[in-house]
Structure 1
Amino acid sequence: MTTMKAKVLPWLLTLVLLAGAWTLVKITLPVGSAQEPFVTVASLGETAHARNLAVTVTDVHAARSVVDAEGWSAEGAWLVVDLEASSQVTQQYAALRDATLTAGDRTFSATDRGTTFLGQALVTGVPRSGSLAFQLPDDVLDDSATLRLALTNSTLDGVIELEIDIAAVPVESEVTLQENGWAR
């Protein structure tokens, strides 16, 4: 009987170790996840918070032309995002510098042409408002996309993401970008 235990015990121990290794592999985060940003999922009309950034996306427009208050205009396929944003902890280096829209495997940056909210300095606890504009290929207007907003493009900072069904947004002939200013 003792020899049988001596033969079975290593096999049982091997099975226990294999099960433990399999469990460890399943619960371990993927390679590179330590460099991923902290993502906060946002909803239209609701304030989302990510470390030093608070954002409320108030409206989304699709347009064939955009105009700003200073007279700049551009034709094409545009997605305009109206938003309010503030810093939460400090206003030092707090500006909305990273605004991208990802549709499928393509990523588009917010335009810096005209008067947009891109690069707008933020104040702690006091929301400012404005618009971001993305010039897109026509086929993206029939797609869905992920809006990604952050203070920097650093992978270790907080990021706010909002899913947008662009196909459900009616295409307007012209949209005027909001003037950058204090939120109402």
Structure 2
Amino acid sequence: MTTPAPTASARSSRRAKILPWALTLVLLAGAWLLNAAALPDSAPEQPFVTTTSVDSVATAGNLSAKVTAVRAARSITDPQGWTEDGTWLVVELDAAAVRSQYGSSLATAELTIGDRTFSATRRAQTMRDSGALVPGVMRHGALAFELPEGALKGTGTLRLANIGVVAGNAVIELPVDLDDVPVEDAITLPDTDWADR
């Protein structure tokens, strides 16, 4: 006995039942692929990084900067005569605003070593608190980071920005090989002044 061939209406009914399931599977696969390719939840918090090197000018947002020297010392003295012993990393740099003088100071000056982040000291007279930067005219000065004894090892990352909150904003980053930084007995920090043109 032979089975009768399905009628056109039976085939159409079967397709009508299978089509929603197939479409659901396609949509689920597409959603899974989209989720796999999407940025992580923390992505909006990440800064826009411009990586630079010593003696190279870098621009990020409203900040243009060139690190001219990275040194270390057992003692620093600022231009006003304030002196402090310890483990210091001194960064000399030129910096200027790009578009606007308004709100264009070095609001962020940080050094990250491993999982620890150090802010540039405010105890010494440095470029950290030198006021607004001027568009197109570089100012020269220094930043000083007081570090724990024995911290000058491995790789550090200097981070500069003209805003206090870097999440979602532009920053300049300079990798620093701390093992190669020469350690001096004492460093006198330069006056913050207009850079040589």
Normalising by structure 1, what TM-score?
0.89
The whole-number CA distance in structure 1 between the counterparts of 2:37 and 2:116 is 31
Shift of 1:59: 0.8
Contact 1:82/1:132 (8 A) holds in 2: yes
CA distance in 2, matches of 1:49, 1:22: 38
**Is residue 59 from structure 1 mapped to residue 65 from structure 2 by the alignment?**
no
Q: Which moved more, 1:55-64 or 1:149-158?
A: 149-158
Quote the offset at 1:180 in angstroms. Answer: 0.4
> Equivalent of 2:135, from 117, 121, 124?
124
* CA apart distance, 1:116: 0.6
Identity score, percent? 49
Aligned to 2:191: 179
Matches within 5 A, 1:14-33: 14-33=24-43
Separation in structure 1 between the aligned mates of residue 106 and residue 169 of structure 2, nearest angstrom: 12
Equivalent runs, 1:1-184 vs 2, <5 Å: 2=11, 12-120=22-130, 121-154=132-165, 155-184=167-196
- Which deviates the most, 119-128 or 65-74? 65-74
Aligned-pair CA distance for 1:75:
0.7
Match of 2:3 in 1: none
Letter in 1 for 2:68: T
- Following the alignment from structure 1 to structure 2, what is the Cα–Cα distance between the partners of residues 139 and 12? 63
Query: In 2, Cα distance between the equivalents of 1:161 and 1:26?
Result: 29
Q: Partners of 2:67 and 2:24 in 1: how far apart? A: 55
Rg bigger for which structure? Answer: 2
Across the two proteins, how many residue pairs are aligned to each other?
184
Looking at structure 1, the residues matched to 185 and 17 of structure 2 have their Cα atoms a distance apart, in angstroms, of: 80
For residue 144 of structure 1, report the CA deviation from its aligned partner.
1.5
In the aligned structure 2, how far is the partner of 1:165 from the partner of 1:18? 48
Q: Is the 8 A contact 1:146 1:161 kept in 2?
A: yes
Please, which runs of 5 or more residues in structure 2 have no aligned partner? Answer: 1-5
Cα displacement (A) at 1:86: 0.3
> Is the partner of 1:30 in helix, strand or coil?
coil
Structure 2 counterpart of 1:158, one-letter code: A
State the alpha-carbon separation in 1 of the partners of residues 14 and 59 from structure 2. 62
- SS of the residue 2:150 aligns to: helix
Unmatched runs of 5 consecutive residues or more in structure 1: none
**Distance (Å, rounded) in 2 between the aligned partners of 1:178 and 1:108:** 21
Deviates more, 1:46-55 or 1:67-76: 67-76
Displacement, 1:4?
7.7
